[in-house]
């Protein structure tokens, strides 16, 4: 199954005119994937029509809703953005509720819980977001700045829920939202441009019209020309679309045996590093580690949300021994926080090799108009907060 996922992922990020260069087995898969994509497009169109005609009901929650979503699978920075927004709301004196599906073991929800532990933010996990929200509203109560008709002073503070952040909400059409934020992976925005499973698109690119704001993630790893082309392409779909740029800035490491430890980034300088990851877009992770200064960086990539098994331990250990024989020094393993939160016990089984977890923070990169200050102001407007 893991090999099949790898092959499909490679096809999804190969331009159609280059399909002939794929290995024979992958080329043989493309007709079936193409048919499945056509079927997916038809189902998506029918679903749209059913919502448009009112056969499926849309729910309006009692508080403002900010949706953070994407148009492609994985690696778009949704989780760091959700955390960023949650911290903005808590700093403003509001208790946000994050609604997440908790896909494949809930690694993203676990990471958010760890990061937001000492804040009033709450995390609701469940496929039915409306039902999950209702349970939290009943337990904690809610306060709705929309209903007052007046700005809310930012000194206000309450455990009552004041806003909802809809994680991975772009395709969750059953909930109304006040702000639609579309996350885009700047390093590889649309893959081959086809719908899943032939390509990585969850919706056609015309869905950009539904976005109120676009955030291009990993923008620091993209050339100015490519960023400009990407911006122009999206603004052709929706004119005057506000577009922000973000990056993940590494802050420190912690030891997998002690998540409260805090090691400086320079701890990997001059070391042999094996990056092990099961995330949506591993290339950005590898580039960040390489820039810190190890003497050599190797990588083992698994499909997004992969649940590690015993055979994976054997594979990782074999790679580590080869690196040790080649360089004459004991290598270390570096993983992302999502991989740690998915299965910390598995990573501890790699002893005596040391495993470090990279911690990062999302930063909004300043541009002429769209700065971090403006982004926070936009969020405050959703809550009708007096920012001055």
Q: Are residues 290 and 169 in the same domain?
A: no
Contact present, 160 and 140 (Cβ < 8 Å): yes
270 and 319 in a common domain? yes
Question: Do 70 and 219 belong to one domain?
Answer: yes
pLDDT at 153: 44
Tokens for 271, please give them. Answer: 């070391």
pTM value is 0.91
Residue closest to 297 by CA, chosen among 327, 325, 264, 261: 327
Residue 140's CB is within 10 A of a number of other CB atoms, namely: 15
My answer on whether 269 and 354 are in the same domain is: yes
Residue 97 CA neighbour count, 13 Å, CB half: 31
* Separation between Cα atoms, residue 105 and residue 346, nearest integer Å: 14
- Same domain? 204 vs 334: no
**Does 106 fall in a domain?**
yes
Q: Is residue 58 part of a domain?
A: no
Q: What is the structure's pLDDT at 375?
A: 92
161 and 44 in a single domain? The answer is no
Q: Is residue 225 part of a domain?
A: yes
Domain count, the chain: 3
Give domain status of residue 57, yes or no.
no
Burial letters 361-376, b for 16+ CB under 10 A, else e: ebebeeeeebebeebb
User: Are 273 and 313 members of one domain?
Assistant: yes
pLDDT value, residue 388: 39
Q: From first to last of the 388 residues of the chain, give the pLDDT tens digit.
A: 777 877 888 898 888 778 888 888 888 999 999 999 999 999 999 999 999 888 888 899 999 999 999 999 878 999 999 999 999 999 988 899 999 987 655 788 889 999 999 899 999 999 899 999 999 999 999 987 666 554 444 444 568 999 999 999 999 999 999 999 999 999 999 999 999 999 999 999 999 999 999 999 999 999 999 999 999 999 999 999 999 999 999 999 999 988 889 999 999 999 999 999 988 888 899 999 999 999 999 999 988 888 888 899 999 999 999 999 999 999 999 999 999 998 888 888 898 999 999 999 999 998 867 889 999 988 888 777 544 3
* Full residue range of the structural domain in which residue 312 is found: 249-361
177 shares its domain with 297: no
Distance (Å, rounded) from C-alpha 58 to C-alpha 61? Answer: 10
Tell me how far CA of residue 106 lies from CA of 69, 145, 244, 324, in angstroms. 17, 31, 28, 34
- Do 217 and 303 lie in one domain? The reply is no
Residue 311 in any domain: the answer is yes
Answer yes or no: is 59 within a domain: no
Do 110 and 197 fall within a single domain? yes
Report yes or no: 98 and 123 within 8 Å, Cβ to Cβ: yes
Which pLDDT value is given to residue 155? 42
CATH of the domain at 234: 3.40.50.300
Q: What is the pLDDT of residue 349?
A: 87
H helices, E strands: number in the chain: 12, 14
- What letter would DSSP give residue 331? -
Write b or e for each residue in 213-234: b if 16 or more Cβ atoms lie within 10 A of its Cβ, otherwise e: bbbbbbbbbbeeeebeebbeeb
- Do 22 and 127 reside in the same domain of the chain? no
Residue 162 lies in a domain: yes
The pair of structure tokens assigned to 68 is 């953070």
Contact, 135 vs 124, CB < 8 A? yes
Q: HSE-up of 101 (CA within 13 Å, CB side)?
A: 11
> In the 3-class helix/strand/coil scheme, how is 215-252 assigned residue by residue?
EEECHHHCCHHHHHHHHHHHHHHCCCCCEEEEEEEEEE
What span, in angstroms and rounded, lies between the C-alpha atoms of 180 and 218?
Answer: 20
The answer as to whether 278 is a domain residue is: yes
Whole-number pLDDT of residue 39: 97
Asked if 133 and 118 sit in the same domain, the reply is yes
């Amino acid at each position: 199954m893991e090999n099949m996922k790898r092959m499909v992922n490679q096809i999804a990020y190969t331009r159609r005119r280059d399909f002939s260069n794929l290995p024979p087995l992958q080329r043989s898969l493309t007709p079936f994937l193409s048919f499945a994509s056509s079927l997916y497009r038809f189902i998506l169109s029918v679903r749209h029509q059913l919502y448009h005609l009112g056969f499926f009901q849309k729910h309006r929650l009692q508080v403002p809703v900010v949706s953070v979503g994407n148009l492609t699978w994985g690696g778009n920075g949704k989780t760091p953005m959700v955390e960023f927004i949650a911290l903005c709301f808590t700093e403003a004196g509001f208790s946000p509720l994050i609604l997440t599906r908790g896909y494949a073991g809930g690694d993203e929800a676990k990471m958010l819980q760890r990061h937001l532990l000492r804040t009033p933010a709450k995390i609701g996990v469940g496929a039915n977001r409306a039902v999950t929200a209702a349970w939290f509203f009943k337990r904690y109560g809610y306060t709705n700045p929309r209903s007052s008709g007046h700005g809310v002073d930012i000194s206000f503070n309450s455990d009552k829920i004041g806003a909802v952040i809809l994680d991975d909400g772009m395709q969750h059409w059953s909930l109304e939202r006040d702000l639609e934020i579309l996350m885009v992976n700047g390093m590889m925005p649309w893959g081959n441009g086809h719908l899943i499973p032939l390509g990585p698109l969850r919706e056609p690119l015309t869905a950009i019209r539904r976005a109120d704001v676009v955030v291009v993630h990993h923008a620091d790893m993209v050339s100015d020309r490519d960023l400009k082309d990407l911006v122009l392409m999206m603004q052709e779909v929706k004119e005057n679309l506000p577009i922000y740029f973000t990056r993940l800035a590494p802050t420190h490491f912690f030891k997998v045996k002690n998540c409260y430890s805090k090691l400086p980034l320079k701890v990997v300088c001059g070391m042999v590093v094996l990056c092990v990851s099961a995330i949506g877009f591993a290339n950005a992770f590898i580039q960040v580690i390489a820039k810190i200064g190890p003497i050599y960086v190797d990588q083992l990539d698994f499909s997004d949300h992969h649940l590690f098994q015993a055979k994976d331990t054997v594979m990782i250990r074999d790679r580590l021994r080869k690196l040790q024989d080649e360089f004459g020094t004991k290598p270390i393993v570096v993983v992302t926080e999502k991989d740690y939160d998915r299965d910390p016990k598995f990573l501890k089984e790699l002893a005596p090799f040391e495993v470090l977890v990279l911690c990062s923070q999302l930063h909004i990169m300043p541009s002429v108009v769209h700065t971090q200050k403006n982004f926070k102001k936009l969020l405050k407007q959703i809550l009708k907060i007096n920012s001055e």
